Homo-oligomer: A and B are copies of this chain.
Amino acid sequence: MKENKIPYKTYLDESEIPTQWYNVRADMKNKPAPLLNPATHKPMTAEELSPVFCDELIAQELNVTDAFIDIPEEIQDFYKMYRPSPLIRAYFLEKALDTPAKIYYKFEGNNTSGSHKLNSAIAQAYYAKKQGLKGVTTETGAGQWGTALSMACSYFGLDCKVYMVKVSYEQKPFRREVMRTYGASVTPSPSMTTEIGKKILAEHPGTTGSLGCAISEAVEVATHTEGYRYVLGSVLNQVLLHQSIIGLETKTALDKLGVKPDIIIGCAGGGSNLGGLISPFMGEKLRGEADYRIIAVEPASCPSFTRGKFAYDFCDTGMVCPLAKMYTLGSGFIPSANHAGGLRYHGMSSTLSQLYHDGLMEATSVEQTEVFKAAEQFARVEGILPAPESSHAIRVAVDEALKCKETGEEKTIVFGLTGTGYFDMVAYEKFNDGEMTDYIPTDEELAESISKLPVVEENF
């Protein structure tokens, strides 16, 4: 393979790390629908959001006009600790698949949080510190976001309270321990430390928790504790803004290599990685400068894009958060117990939901045994053991590459490899033992949870 002009790994110079985030909403003709006050059903104002979120992050959340937002120097410095992340040409995978397709992946797993989540965690911690806060609260499911936030808070000397979905807390004691090593306190959710937790436990004594429930607890603690605010690792516009660094670096690297992708693929739970990866490419598409096939990949067991409804819904189980317009399965939806890994949120980023609704991207869903087959193949040839979440993108990248093999097309495929699976070995063990199963919710199940969406008249 020595004569290849494209290297295996392309690292930008530190001087090429973007100094501005890109806000795709500025280029969207149809802006994402605003967050609504759950009581009045009117768009949330910055004032109304301020008990929950940091002021600067609220400004970013509501900013639909500025295409570029400066990255503060302190954040740029922190980014240099673990960025730029490599853009990797998957020569070994191409060879294993015997495909004429050219496959690239942007690998965000080379930091202790194990994923791209650190890109937004450090930004959110920075603004919290700048505002003079004492600490932040959050929820975490698979644990990547909680770990990332713990690292960011430790760096800025902020207190960090993490509500971890109980089933993850119990199944992933090592994730919890990483967070503790970074000084965070980790509470299994639902817990008796909040009113909403007590209520949920009274109603469902045996519950193993859900993301929506952990969000409710974290928000309650933030709004009831002096000097605290709530932060979130996905779904929100601000998160997609920070994560745009993934796409910007990817685009810069591809441009340097003289490569133009045909297909861009990312896994989608709440949309943090996908939204970040695709943003500059989507921007070109919105401005009519280029065209790309963009594919969101979600689990068949939690199919918000492919089987959800585009409507206003609660972001959390406790129904204390603002309403967001998004593709949703209903805030009461919880993926079946056999679902491994993250990507288990009932809704989807408003920005991505609007783009999908407008036909600017595709979505597909895949079953987890197929995902783990792709994960294992990838691990064996590319040498990186991927996170289950990331492996959804691998599955579809492999499938698209195999289609190229049939047709003989030399398409260029870029996918986001969001992280590593070192804390997901329980799921790999199930797969290795042949005990992993799939589950696709029935139409009746989904109709049931979707029937409980709030009734919102969009007359604002």
The answer to whether B432 and A177 touch across the interface, beta carbons within 8 angstroms, is yes
- Scan A211-224; emit 1 where CB is below 8 A from any B CB, else 0: 00000000000000
The answer to whether B2 and A384 touch across the interface, beta carbons within 8 angstroms, is no
A207 contacts the other chain (CB 8 A): no
The answer to whether B177 and A428 touch across the interface, beta carbons within 8 angstroms, is yes
Q: Which of A25-33, A74-82, A335-343 contacts B (4 or more CB under 8 A)?
A: A74-82
B-facing residues in A54-104 (Cβ within 8 Å): 73, 76-77, 80-82, 92
Q: Smallest CB–CB gap between A334 and chain B, Å?
A: 26
Q: How far is the CA of A406 from the CA of B309 in the complex (A)?
A: 65
B-facing residues in A148-200 (Cβ within 8 Å): 151, 154-155, 173-174, 177-178, 180-183
**Contact A111:B181 (CB < 8 A) given known A1-B77, A14-B8, A73-B2:** no
Q: Which of A229-237, A239-247, A373-381, A409-417 contacts B (4 or more CB under 8 A)?
A: A373-381
A328 contacts the other chain (CB 8 A): no
**Contact A383:B112 (CB < 8 A) given known A73-B2, A423-B422, A432-B180:** yes
B-facing residues in A359-379 (Cβ within 8 Å): 376, 379
Option from B8, B11, B81, B82 in Cβ contact (under 8 Å) with A80? B8
Residues of B within 8 A of A76 (CB): 2
The answer to whether B112 and A181 touch across the interface, beta carbons within 8 angstroms, is no
Give A122's nearest chain B residue, CB to CB. Answer: B383
Q: How far is the CA of A81 from the CA of B94 in the complex (A)?
A: 13
Most buried by B among A13, A76, A92, A422: A422
Option from B154, B422, B423 in Cβ contact (under 8 Å) with A380? B154
Q: Smallest CB–CB gap between A149 and chain B, Å?
A: 13
The answer to whether B380 and A182 touch across the interface, beta carbons within 8 angstroms, is yes
The answer to whether A81 and B112 touch across the interface, beta carbons within 8 angstroms, is no
Q: How far is the CA of A1 from the CA of B79 in the complex (A)?
A: 12
Q: Smallest CB–CB gap between A424 and chain B, Å?
A: 9
- Scan A256-283; emit 1 where CB is below 8 A from any B CB, else 0: 0000000000000000000000000000
A248 contacts the other chain (CB 8 A): no
Q: Smallest CB–CB gap between A140 and chain B, Å?
A: 16
Identical copies in the complex? 2
A420 contacts the other chain (CB 8 A): yes
The answer to whether B428 and A77 touch across the interface, beta carbons within 8 angstroms, is no
Residues of B within 8 A of A420 (CB): 112
The answer to whether A111 and B81 touch across the interface, beta carbons within 8 angstroms, is no
The answer to whether B112 and A110 touch across the interface, beta carbons within 8 angstroms, is no
The answer to whether B183 and A380 touch across the interface, beta carbons within 8 angstroms, is yes
Residues of B within 8 A of A352 (CB): none
Residues of B within 8 A of A183 (CB): 380
Q: How far is the CA of A77 from the CA of B89 in the complex (A)?
A: 13
A227 contacts the other chain (CB 8 A): no
Residues of B within 8 A of A9 (CB): 14, 80
A291 contacts the other chain (CB 8 A): no
Q: How far is the CA of A385 from the CA of B182 in the complex (A)?
A: 9
A382 contacts the other chain (CB 8 A): yes
Q: How far is the CA of A82 from the CA of B379 in the complex (A)?
A: 13
Q: How far is the CA of A112 from the CA of B110 in the complex (A)?
A: 10
The answer to whether B110 and A385 touch across the interface, beta carbons within 8 angstroms, is no
Give A74's nearest chain B residue, CB to CB. Answer: B1
The answer to whether B423 and A82 touch across the interface, beta carbons within 8 angstroms, is no
Option from B114, B118, B181 in Cβ contact (under 8 Å) with A432? B181
A454 contacts the other chain (CB 8 A): no
A441 contacts the other chain (CB 8 A): no
The answer to whether A383 and B181 touch across the interface, beta carbons within 8 angstroms, is no
Give A383's nearest chain B residue, CB to CB. Answer: B81
A7 contacts the other chain (CB 8 A): yes
The answer to whether A385 and B181 touch across the interface, beta carbons within 8 angstroms, is yes
* In the A-B complex, the 3 residue pairs with the closest CB atoms: A174-B425, A177-B425, A8-B80
22 A-B pairs in the complex with CB atoms less than 8 angstroms apart: A1-B77, A2-B73, A8-B14, A8-B80, A81-B382, A112-B379, A112-B385, A112-B420, A118-B383, A151-B380, A151-B383, A155-B383, A173-B429, A174-B422, A174-B423, A174-B426, A177-B425, A178-B425, A180-B428, A181-B376, A181-B432, A422-B422
Extra 18 A-B pairs, beta carbons < 8 Å, given A1-B77, A155-B380: A7-B13, A9-B80, A81-B382, A81-B383, A110-B110, A111-B384, A118-B383, A173-B429, A174-B422, A174-B426, A177-B425, A177-B429, A177-B432, A178-B385, A178-B428, A180-B429, A422-B422, A422-B423
